[in-house]
Structure 1
Amino acid sequence: MKDNDFIPYGHQSISKEDIAAVVDSLQAEYLTQGPIVGSFEKAIANQVNSKYAIAVNNATSALHIACLALDVKEGDCVWTSPNTFIASANCARYCGAEVDFVDIDPRTYNLSAEKLEEKLISAKRLNTLPKVVIPVHFAGQSCDMEAIHRLSQEYGFAVIEDASHAIGGQYQDHPIGDCRYSDICVFSFHPVKIITSAEGGMALTNNANIARLLRTYANQGITKDPQYLIQNVGDWYYEQHTLGFNYRMTEMQAALGLSQLSRLDQFIEKRHQQFKSYEKLLKDFPITLPYQAEDTHSSLHLYPILLPEHNKAARKGVFEVLRHAGIGTQVHYIPVHTQPYYQALGFQLGDFPVAEDYYSRTLSLPLFADLTSAQQERVALILKHALIANRVMSA
């Protein structure tokens, strides 16, 4: 198999305009802490109708400063989904907080609002309510944010939307990221995401004080804003008001992200076309295709399929056949609570059965802007061979 025959599960789409934008940034006066980052922040905020946007070096950093801005600390507890990348939980651990999980909806694979309510009722009796809940918009489809927001008002927790998969998506005909139902929303610009800045992330909010804290934590805990200085002895003067981090985004990253943003709608449209193509190609296969809730318009970061429950032991064989044939299938995700680090904190297999069952049967098929119809047909053909070879379907 030649390298160019390999079809990854996700891949960046880089245009001549993207390259030119990065070259221009390299020839500009500033390589970091220049004007392009601010332009990128403003463009993202305008795109999703949020008041404030703070760019950082990656989405993990954005999640970390989001927890810090909401004063997450030792003695607090943060709840999130077990069906996510580890960063959604680790961000709370960085702050010294405990972490717990809420099982997922069996159709959307998102954090279940119903399970959340059940857990909150129990936690209130035990006086163990969370300080923050981090719903994750898995594969680009929004969680039931209206229900989660209602619960946040009733039980007194803050909400961070982990929308790392979801820029360009919509919920109730509003853009994901407008923070209508959350305190902070986080995007990722990793190369396999909808748009990329090579690495990069963004934290969005409608709260001015939270925005100030986010920016301060991302910039070494330093401020030069005259209204917050204890003393002001000149334009050169700055003060460190807290222990912050160097999480800044570079001008080159911002230039790439800003250029990519101009094609966001095009990328989403292509992914939806590919989604429909997969539905036609795979409609007779004995697998569960991704479900889309009526009040969401997913950005379709991933295309996860599910093997039948009675064939879940075949998952490894199907995976290996696909990989051997050059199809870059992947598994999203290993439930966070099953990781050795979290097991050492007391979590066990069986704690979140819906997420564990989903994990045992899922595979993500290739889905990215430059995926061709011929490549999708090849994916479907090899998947059929893999399912037959592993006795999931008949020849």
Structure 2
Amino acid sequence: MNERVTTGMESSNVLIPPPGRESAGQGGRARVIPFSKVVCDGNELAYIREVLESGWLTTASKTKAFEEKFSEVVGARYCCAVNSCTSALHLGLEALGVGPGDKVLVPTMTFTASAEVIRYLGAEPIFLDVDFGTALLTEAIVEEALDAHPEAKVLTVVHFGGQAAAMLDGERGGILALCRQRGVRVIEDAAHAFPAREGGRPVGSLGDVTCFSFYANKTITTGEGGMLTTDDPEIAERVRVMRLHGIDRDIWKRFISEYPMWEYDVIAPGYKYNMPDLNAAIGLAQLERADVLRDARERCARYYFDVLGDRADLDLPVIRVPFADHAWHLFWIVVQPETVGRNRLIELLSQRGIGTSVHYKPLHRMKYYRERYELDPGRFPGAERLWRGCLSLPLYPSLCDDDLRYITDSLVDCLG
């Protein structure tokens, strides 16, 4: 349960120096600062032990407790724990009735999961540009897209980097009100955005469906896992059935019942998306310290803003919400093209033992989407400008001031 380096695909192009590689840190000591580290210094071991001793390792009481506590935190009536945010997005779209031929609006500046789940259902993604300063959808972008595609059934909003999009704030009342006026359902990809708030309300209590990730590099983790939240009882019921093979009865309730309850029915061709209790046990422990972990990330972000904020060769993210309402999953910068350049900067920082990442190469540049939908980069000026120079710096609770100083000193030195 000690801190460890994460190198998963959802980190997107993470460059972490190989084990044993030395870099010239301060005082001549070897130094390696990975892009991401997990902090598990709460009740994780105790809760995992309880699961092991219970004799029931898959979805059961710990998962139920995790759902209930998460519901309290985000203010949603229903929470459904699953094995990934991708699963949550798939289940959410399916519960919203998305099917073959339907159109779903989705930003291009996101991880592929946001769009691939649309294709799972035979629907078609319509890619949208994002605002350069925030990497978010705006009310204006969404309104233009709805005018151009009045047949769109669902909008996927990605709360990029941990900051909520303008769901409640804008000339039309925000993205949410705009979609309500057009009869478009809203699913929020909040993989980066726990715990975050918009207009004083927690992300997770806004749209029709919100999907969270508990991947290893997120603010809280279950190792692998996700959560779907909604206030709609019909959506919640559909998700609960479909996350476990379309079975109409809860397997845990059948297990603990005093009476024989062996019979069940399959009412739909569902999926295997349930969260095991082993993962939920970690999540419960992490949830107890979510605010502490988030605050530690904010401390790192403030350091970066203080040291790098006046540099002309960098663009820092524009923050549209109070700092306390930001989840601080990522701290990304945009390197100006006339400098050493993003790709060379990644190499130079890696040589000094500093891991970085790129979030993201936009989906309109990915082979599958580019070719299938004949996507022209010229249609996405905000995303294009972002991705050509974007670079995510290390951001996690255990970074100390000395680490942060080493990162910023190295960055400034490499920029020249």
Taking structure 2 as the reference length, what is the TM-score of the superposition? 0.87
What displacement does 1:295 show? 5.8
Counterpart Cα distance in 1 of 2:43 and 2:236 = 31
Unaligned runs of 5+ in 2: 1-20, 24-29, 169-173, 251-258
1:164 is the counterpart of 2:186: no
2:305 corresponding residue in structure 1 = 279
SS of residue matched to 2:315: coil
1:5 corresponding residue in structure 2 = 31
Contact 2:363 2:370 in 1 (8 A): no
SS of residue matched to 2:149: helix
What displacement does 1:234 show? 6.9
What displacement does 1:269 show? 1.0
Unaligned runs of 5+ in 1: 226-232, 389-395
1:22 is the counterpart of 2:30: no
The one-letter amino acid of 2:294's match is I
Deviations 1:308-334 (A, max 9, x none): 2544x7111111101121111111001
Counterpart Cα distance in 2 of 1:316 and 1:155 = 42
Alignment counterpart, residue 325 of structure 1, candidates 332, 348, 352 = 352
Alignment counterpart, residue 372 of structure 1, candidates 379, 389, 400 = 400
What displacement does 1:371 show? 1.0
SS of residue matched to 1:350: helix
Distance 1:167 1:16, change over 3 A: closer
What displacement does 1:2 show? 4.1
Counterpart Cα distance in 2 of 1:77 and 1:15 = 44
SS of residue matched to 2:79: strand
Identity of paired residues, percent?
A: 34
SS of residue matched to 1:145: coil
Deviations 1:74-132 (A, max 9, x none): 010111111110000111110000011111012211122211111211223xxxx2111
Alignment counterpart, residue 293 of structure 1, candidates 320, 335, 338 = 320
1:105 corresponding residue in structure 2 = 131
1:209 corresponding residue in structure 2 = 234
1:45 is the counterpart of 2:67: no
Counterpart Cα distance in 1 of 2:76 and 2:310 = 42
Alignment map for 1:1-395 (pairs within 5 Å) = 1-2=21-22, 5-15=31-41, 17-124=43-150, 129-146=151-168, 147-179=174-206, 182-224=207-249, 235-286=261-312, 287-294=314-321, 297-311=325-339, 314-345=341-372, 346-388=374-416
SS of residue matched to 2:43: helix
- Aligned residues: CA RMSD: 1.7
1:229 corresponding residue in structure 2 = none
The one-letter amino acid of 1:105's match is D
Contact 1:171 1:295 in 2 (8 A): no
Counterpart Cα distance in 2 of 1:154 and 1:367 = 39
Deviations 1:197-255 (A, max 9, x none): 00000000000000001111101011127xxxxxxx97322111111001111111000
**Hey, which bits of structure 1, 4+ residues long, moved more than 3 A?**
1-4
Contact 1:77 1:131 in 2 (8 A): yes
Contact 2:143 2:178 in 1 (8 A): yes
Contact 1:52 1:208 in 2 (8 A): yes
What displacement does 1:187 show? 0.5
